[in-house]
Homo-oligomer: A and B are copies of this chain.
Amino acid sequence: MELDRRRPGQSAITTPRKEADQVEILSGIYNGVTLGTPIAMMVRNTDQRPAAYDNVRDVFRPSHADFTYTAKYGIRAVEGGGRSSARETLARVAAGAIAKKILSVAAGVRITAYVERVQDISMPELETAPEAALVEANEVRCPHAETAERMIERIKAVRLDRDSVGGVVRCHLANVPAGLGEPVFDRLEADLAKAMLSIPATKGFEFGSGFAGTFLRGSEHNDAFVSREGRIRTATNRSGGIQGGISNGEEIVFRVAFKPTATIMRTQQTVDAQGNETELAAKGRHDPCVLPRAVPVVEAMAALVLVDQLMRQKAQNDVLPLA
Protein backbone atom coordinates (compact mmCIF):
# COMPACT_ATOMS: atom_id res chain seq x y z
CA MET A 1 0.00 0.00 0.00
CA GLU A 2 1.33 3.39 -1.06
CA LEU A 3 0.52 5.05 2.26
CA ASP A 4 2.87 2.74 4.15
CA ARG A 5 5.74 4.02 2.04
CA ARG A 6 5.11 7.54 3.31
CA ARG A 7 4.14 6.53 6.87
CA PRO A 8 6.24 7.79 9.78
CA GLY A 9 7.97 5.22 11.97
CA GLN A 10 8.63 2.83 9.09
CA SER A 11 12.37 2.49 9.73
CA ALA A 12 15.30 3.48 11.89
CA ILE A 13 16.10 6.55 9.79
CA THR A 14 12.69 8.21 9.88
CA THR A 15 10.68 9.94 12.58
CA PRO A 16 9.55 7.53 15.32
CA ARG A 17 6.07 9.08 15.34
CA LYS A 18 3.60 6.19 15.25
CA GLU A 19 0.78 7.06 12.93
CA ALA A 20 -1.29 4.15 11.77
CA ASP A 21 -2.48 6.04 8.68
CA GLN A 22 -5.66 3.98 8.44
CA VAL A 23 -7.73 5.11 5.47
CA GLU A 24 -11.49 5.31 5.71
CA ILE A 25 -13.16 5.50 2.29
CA LEU A 26 -16.15 7.80 2.59
CA SER A 27 -17.56 7.78 -0.93
CA GLY A 28 -17.12 6.84 -4.57
CA ILE A 29 -16.45 3.11 -4.12
CA TYR A 30 -19.30 0.60 -4.26
CA ASN A 31 -18.80 -3.11 -3.78
CA GLY A 32 -15.12 -2.70 -4.57
CA VAL A 33 -15.40 -0.73 -7.80
CA THR A 34 -15.37 2.98 -8.49
CA LEU A 35 -18.64 4.75 -9.24
CA GLY A 36 -17.21 7.56 -11.35
CA THR A 37 -18.28 10.04 -8.69
CA PRO A 38 -15.66 11.59 -6.33
CA ILE A 39 -13.79 9.24 -4.00
CA ALA A 40 -13.41 10.74 -0.53
CA MET A 41 -10.89 9.23 1.85
CA MET A 42 -10.07 10.19 5.41
CA VAL A 43 -7.12 9.41 7.66
CA ARG A 44 -7.22 10.59 11.25
CA ASN A 45 -4.08 11.74 13.00
CA THR A 46 -3.80 9.32 15.91
CA ASP A 47 -0.45 10.15 17.46
CA GLN A 48 -0.66 13.82 18.37
CA ARG A 49 1.43 15.26 21.19
CA PRO A 50 0.33 18.90 21.28
CA ALA A 51 2.37 19.59 24.41
CA ALA A 52 5.54 19.11 22.37
CA TYR A 53 4.74 22.39 20.64
CA ASP A 54 4.28 24.52 23.75
CA ASN A 55 7.71 26.08 23.43
CA VAL A 56 7.01 27.40 19.91
CA ARG A 57 3.66 29.00 20.67
CA ASP A 58 5.11 32.52 20.51
CA VAL A 59 8.39 31.72 18.79
CA PHE A 60 9.14 31.51 15.08
CA ARG A 61 11.03 28.32 14.19
CA PRO A 62 13.85 29.07 11.69
CA SER A 63 13.09 28.10 8.06
CA HIS A 64 9.59 26.99 9.03
CA ALA A 65 6.25 28.50 8.06
CA ASP A 66 5.47 29.92 11.52
CA PHE A 67 6.36 33.49 10.58
CA THR A 68 4.77 33.49 7.13
CA TYR A 69 1.49 31.96 8.31
CA THR A 70 1.28 34.65 10.97
CA ALA A 71 2.05 37.30 8.34
CA LYS A 72 -0.57 35.92 5.98
CA TYR A 73 -3.44 35.03 8.30
CA GLY A 74 -2.74 36.92 11.54
CA ILE A 75 -3.11 33.61 13.36
CA ARG A 76 -1.66 30.12 13.19
CA ALA A 77 -2.34 26.69 14.64
CA VAL A 78 0.68 25.86 16.73
CA GLU A 79 0.29 22.19 17.54
CA GLY A 80 1.90 19.90 15.01
CA GLY A 81 2.59 22.85 12.72
CA GLY A 82 -1.09 23.06 11.72
CA ARG A 83 -1.68 23.16 8.01
CA SER A 84 2.00 23.73 7.31
CA SER A 85 2.77 20.21 8.53
CA ALA A 86 4.06 17.85 5.88
CA ARG A 87 1.49 15.41 7.21
CA GLU A 88 -0.71 16.82 4.44
CA THR A 89 1.35 14.86 1.92
CA LEU A 90 -0.52 11.77 3.11
CA ALA A 91 -3.54 13.00 1.17
CA ARG A 92 -1.42 13.38 -1.93
CA VAL A 93 -0.17 9.81 -1.66
CA ALA A 94 -3.72 8.51 -1.19
CA ALA A 95 -4.95 10.37 -4.28
CA GLY A 96 -1.83 9.39 -6.17
CA ALA A 97 -2.48 5.71 -5.52
CA ILE A 98 -5.72 6.01 -7.49
CA ALA A 99 -4.02 8.08 -10.19
CA LYS A 100 -1.35 5.39 -10.56
CA LYS A 101 -4.05 2.76 -10.96
CA ILE A 102 -5.81 4.80 -13.67
CA LEU A 103 -2.53 5.34 -15.53
CA SER A 104 -1.68 1.68 -15.31
CA VAL A 105 -5.07 0.53 -16.60
CA ALA A 106 -5.49 3.22 -19.27
CA ALA A 107 -1.97 3.40 -20.61
CA GLY A 108 0.42 1.02 -18.86
CA VAL A 109 2.37 3.92 -17.37
CA ARG A 110 4.98 3.04 -14.71
CA ILE A 111 6.21 5.63 -12.20
CA THR A 112 9.43 5.08 -10.26
CA ALA A 113 11.10 7.57 -7.95
CA TYR A 114 14.11 6.97 -5.72
CA VAL A 115 16.72 8.73 -3.64
CA GLU A 116 19.61 9.51 -5.96
CA ARG A 117 21.69 11.62 -3.60
CA VAL A 118 21.83 12.32 0.14
CA GLN A 119 23.94 15.39 0.82
CA ASP A 120 27.12 14.56 -1.17
CA ILE A 121 26.55 10.79 -1.39
CA SER A 122 25.33 10.05 -4.90
CA MET A 123 24.53 6.91 -6.86
CA PRO A 124 25.53 6.51 -10.53
CA GLU A 125 23.09 8.10 -12.98
CA LEU A 126 20.60 5.62 -14.47
CA GLU A 127 19.51 5.77 -18.10
CA THR A 128 16.19 4.05 -17.50
CA ALA A 129 13.98 3.36 -14.51
CA PRO A 130 15.23 0.82 -11.94
CA GLU A 131 13.08 -2.07 -10.78
CA ALA A 132 10.66 -0.91 -8.10
CA ALA A 133 11.80 -3.81 -5.92
CA LEU A 134 15.34 -2.45 -5.88
CA VAL A 135 14.03 0.88 -4.60
CA GLU A 136 12.07 -0.78 -1.82
CA ALA A 137 14.93 -3.11 -0.94
CA ASN A 138 16.39 -0.72 1.62
CA GLU A 139 15.05 1.84 4.03
CA VAL A 140 16.54 4.87 2.25
CA ARG A 141 14.88 3.95 -1.07
CA CYS A 142 18.05 4.13 -3.15
CA PRO A 143 18.16 1.34 -5.77
CA HIS A 144 21.98 1.18 -5.69
CA ALA A 145 22.72 -1.02 -2.68
CA GLU A 146 26.23 0.19 -1.88
CA THR A 147 25.27 3.84 -2.09
CA ALA A 148 22.17 3.13 -0.01
CA GLU A 149 24.32 1.77 2.78
CA ARG A 150 26.48 4.87 2.86
CA MET A 151 23.40 7.08 2.80
CA ILE A 152 21.92 5.26 5.77
CA GLU A 153 25.12 5.60 7.72
CA ARG A 154 25.23 9.30 6.98
CA ILE A 155 21.64 9.83 8.09
CA LYS A 156 22.27 7.93 11.32
CA ALA A 157 25.40 9.94 12.01
CA VAL A 158 23.62 13.20 11.37
CA ARG A 159 20.77 12.25 13.66
CA LEU A 160 23.25 11.47 16.43
CA ASP A 161 24.73 14.88 15.79
CA ARG A 162 21.21 16.34 16.26
CA ASP A 163 21.33 17.73 12.73
CA SER A 164 19.69 16.97 9.37
CA VAL A 165 20.52 16.47 5.67
CA GLY A 166 18.82 16.91 2.29
CA GLY A 167 19.43 15.58 -1.19
CA VAL A 168 17.85 14.74 -4.51
CA VAL A 169 15.00 12.46 -5.58
CA ARG A 170 14.95 11.33 -9.20
CA CYS A 171 11.83 10.09 -10.95
CA HIS A 172 11.19 8.14 -14.17
CA LEU A 173 7.82 7.99 -15.95
CA ALA A 174 7.87 5.08 -18.37
CA ASN A 175 5.35 4.24 -21.12
CA VAL A 176 3.84 7.71 -21.17
CA PRO A 177 2.09 8.03 -24.54
CA ALA A 178 3.38 10.75 -26.86
CA GLY A 179 1.12 13.79 -27.00
CA LEU A 180 0.49 14.70 -23.35
CA GLY A 181 0.96 18.35 -22.37
CA GLU A 182 -0.32 21.67 -23.65
CA PRO A 183 1.74 23.91 -25.95
CA VAL A 184 2.06 27.08 -23.90
CA PHE A 185 1.19 27.54 -20.24
CA ASP A 186 0.28 24.01 -19.19
CA ARG A 187 3.34 22.37 -20.65
CA LEU A 188 3.98 18.96 -19.18
CA GLU A 189 7.30 20.08 -17.62
CA ALA A 190 5.56 23.18 -16.20
CA ASP A 191 2.86 21.10 -14.57
CA LEU A 192 5.46 18.69 -13.19
CA ALA A 193 7.54 21.60 -11.88
CA LYS A 194 4.56 23.07 -10.08
CA ALA A 195 3.56 19.69 -8.67
CA MET A 196 7.06 19.04 -7.34
CA LEU A 197 7.67 22.51 -5.92
CA SER A 198 4.32 22.20 -4.13
CA ILE A 199 5.84 19.43 -1.99
CA PRO A 200 7.16 20.72 1.36
CA ALA A 201 10.95 21.16 1.66
CA THR A 202 11.62 21.24 -2.09
CA LYS A 203 14.11 23.76 -3.49
CA GLY A 204 14.42 22.92 -7.18
CA PHE A 205 13.30 20.93 -10.20
CA GLU A 206 15.04 19.94 -13.41
CA PHE A 207 14.09 17.56 -16.21
CA GLY A 208 16.15 15.75 -18.82
CA SER A 209 19.62 17.26 -19.00
CA GLY A 210 18.57 19.95 -16.49
CA PHE A 211 21.05 22.48 -15.16
CA ALA A 212 23.99 20.33 -16.32
CA GLY A 213 22.69 20.52 -19.89
CA THR A 214 23.28 24.27 -19.93
CA PHE A 215 27.03 23.63 -20.06
CA LEU A 216 26.70 21.87 -23.43
CA ARG A 217 26.53 23.29 -26.92
CA GLY A 218 23.44 22.80 -29.08
CA SER A 219 25.28 20.29 -31.28
CA GLU A 220 26.09 18.22 -28.18
CA HIS A 221 22.69 18.64 -26.55
CA ASN A 222 20.18 17.97 -29.34
CA ASP A 223 18.52 14.55 -29.42
CA ALA A 224 18.74 13.10 -32.94
CA PHE A 225 15.61 11.34 -34.17
CA VAL A 226 16.04 7.73 -35.26
CA SER A 227 13.79 4.94 -36.47
CA ARG A 228 13.75 1.97 -34.15
CA GLU A 229 11.40 -1.03 -34.36
CA GLY A 230 9.02 0.91 -36.55
CA ARG A 231 8.69 3.78 -34.14
CA ILE A 232 10.27 7.22 -34.22
CA ARG A 233 12.54 7.53 -31.21
CA THR A 234 15.35 9.79 -30.02
CA ALA A 235 18.90 8.44 -29.96
CA THR A 236 19.59 10.20 -26.67
CA ASN A 237 17.18 11.61 -24.07
CA ARG A 238 18.47 15.00 -23.01
CA SER A 239 14.95 16.26 -23.71
CA GLY A 240 13.85 14.13 -20.77
CA GLY A 241 10.86 12.77 -22.68
CA ILE A 242 9.32 16.20 -23.28
CA GLN A 243 9.69 18.43 -26.34
CA GLY A 244 7.83 21.69 -26.81
CA GLY A 245 5.87 21.00 -23.63
CA ILE A 246 4.54 17.68 -24.93
CA SER A 247 5.60 14.10 -24.17
CA ASN A 248 7.48 12.39 -27.01
CA GLY A 249 7.09 8.79 -25.87
CA GLU A 250 10.57 8.48 -24.33
CA GLU A 251 10.99 8.06 -20.57
CA ILE A 252 10.23 11.26 -18.72
CA VAL A 253 13.00 11.85 -16.19
CA PHE A 254 13.31 14.65 -13.66
CA ARG A 255 14.99 15.53 -10.37
CA VAL A 256 13.69 17.27 -7.27
CA ALA A 257 15.93 18.95 -4.67
CA PHE A 258 14.97 18.59 -1.00
CA LYS A 259 16.54 20.82 1.62
CA PRO A 260 17.84 19.48 4.94
CA THR A 261 14.95 19.19 7.42
CA ALA A 262 14.38 22.55 9.10
CA THR A 263 13.55 21.01 12.47
CA ILE A 264 16.76 20.05 14.26
CA MET A 265 17.48 19.15 17.85
CA ARG A 266 20.23 21.73 18.18
CA THR A 267 19.76 25.09 19.84
CA GLN A 268 19.08 27.83 17.27
CA GLN A 269 18.78 31.60 17.44
CA THR A 270 15.41 33.11 16.60
CA VAL A 271 12.89 35.73 17.72
CA ASP A 272 9.42 35.59 19.25
CA ALA A 273 6.27 37.25 17.92
CA GLN A 274 7.28 40.54 19.56
CA GLY A 275 10.68 40.44 17.90
CA ASN A 276 12.62 39.59 21.08
CA GLU A 277 15.65 37.37 20.61
CA THR A 278 15.36 33.89 22.00
CA GLU A 279 16.73 30.38 21.60
CA LEU A 280 14.99 27.25 20.47
CA ALA A 281 15.75 23.54 20.36
CA ALA A 282 13.22 21.20 18.81
CA LYS A 283 11.47 18.67 20.91
CA GLY A 284 9.09 16.27 19.25
CA ARG A 285 9.98 13.50 16.82
CA HIS A 286 11.32 14.49 13.44
CA ASP A 287 13.00 13.06 10.34
CA PRO A 288 16.72 13.79 10.06
CA CYS A 289 16.27 13.33 6.30
CA VAL A 290 12.90 13.54 4.55
CA LEU A 291 13.94 11.94 1.28
CA PRO A 292 13.04 8.25 1.86
CA ARG A 293 9.50 9.25 2.80
CA ALA A 294 9.34 11.85 0.01
CA VAL A 295 9.77 9.19 -2.70
CA PRO A 296 6.09 8.11 -2.73
CA VAL A 297 5.01 11.76 -2.58
CA VAL A 298 7.00 12.57 -5.73
CA GLU A 299 5.47 9.55 -7.46
CA ALA A 300 1.98 10.55 -6.36
CA MET A 301 2.28 14.10 -7.63
CA ALA A 302 3.68 12.90 -10.96
CA ALA A 303 0.77 10.50 -11.28
CA LEU A 304 -1.75 13.26 -10.63
CA VAL A 305 -0.18 15.48 -13.30
CA LEU A 306 -0.23 12.66 -15.85
CA VAL A 307 -3.86 11.76 -15.17
CA ASP A 308 -4.86 15.38 -15.61
CA GLN A 309 -3.03 15.70 -18.92
CA LEU A 310 -4.24 12.30 -20.09
CA MET A 311 -7.83 13.37 -19.47
CA ARG A 312 -7.28 16.62 -21.35
CA GLN A 313 -5.84 14.74 -24.26
CA LYS A 314 -8.79 12.35 -24.37
CA ALA A 315 -11.16 15.32 -24.27
CA GLN A 316 -9.50 16.88 -27.31
CA ASN A 317 -8.80 13.91 -29.49
CA ASP A 318 -12.00 12.94 -31.20
CA VAL A 319 -12.66 15.69 -33.71
CA LEU A 320 -9.17 16.90 -34.68
CA PRO A 321 -8.30 18.10 -37.24
CA LEU A 322 -11.66 19.62 -38.14
CA ALA A 323 -12.14 20.85 -41.69
Q: Which residues of A contact B (CB under 8 A)?
A: 26-27, 30, 32-37, 42, 60, 62-65, 67-69, 71-77, 82-84, 88, 98, 101-102, 105-106, 117, 119-120, 158, 163-168, 178-181, 183-187, 189-198, 200, 202-211, 213-227, 230-232, 234-235, 238-240, 242-249, 257-264, 266, 268-271, 275-277, 311-323
> Given the interface contacts A198-B184, A203-B208, does A60 sit within 8 Å of B232 by beta carbon?
yes
Query: SS class of chain A's interface: helix, strand, loop or mixed?
Result: mixed
Report yes or no: A205 in contact with B227, Cβ–Cβ below 8 A.
no
How long is the Cα–Cα vector from A33 to B76 in the complex, in angstroms?
10
Report yes or no: B211 in contact with A63, Cβ–Cβ below 8 A.
no
When all copies of this chain in the complex are counted, the total is 4
Report yes or no: B65 in contact with A244, Cβ–Cβ below 8 A.
yes
Candidate in A216, A232, A240, A319 with the most chain B CB atoms within 10 angstroms: A319
Complex contacts, A234 vs chain B, CB 8 Å:
62
Report yes or no: A36 in contact with B217, Cβ–Cβ below 8 A.
no
Whose C-beta in chain B lies nearest to the C-beta of A276? Answer: B227
Report yes or no: A75 in contact with B193, Cβ–Cβ below 8 A.
no
Whose C-beta in chain B lies nearest to the C-beta of A317? Answer: B314
Report yes or no: A60 in contact with B227, Cβ–Cβ below 8 A.
no
Chain B nearest CB: distance from A234 CB in Å?
8
How long is the Cα–Cα vector from A187 to B314 in the complex, in angstroms?
21
Contact check: which of B67, B239, B316, B323 meets A311 at CB < 8 Å?
B316
Report yes or no: B264 in contact with A166, Cβ–Cβ below 8 A.
no
> Given the interface contacts A60-B232, A205-B193, does A73 sit within 8 Å of B36 by beta carbon?
yes
Complex contacts, A240 vs chain B, CB 8 Å:
203
Whose C-beta in chain B lies nearest to the C-beta of A254? Answer: B204
Report yes or no: A270 in contact with B183, Cβ–Cβ below 8 A.
no
Complex contacts, A222 vs chain B, CB 8 Å:
62-63, 262, 264, 268
Contact check: which of B184, B223, B227, B322 meets A88 at CB < 8 Å?
B184
Chain B nearest CB: distance from A248 CB in Å?
5
Report yes or no: A224 in contact with B73, Cβ–Cβ below 8 A.
no
- 5 A-B pairs with the lowest CB-CB distances in the bound complex, closest first: A65-B244, A204-B206, A164-B218, A36-B73, A194-B194
How long is the Cα–Cα vector from A312 to B73 in the complex, in angstroms?
13
Complex contacts, A268 vs chain B, CB 8 Å:
219, 222, 224
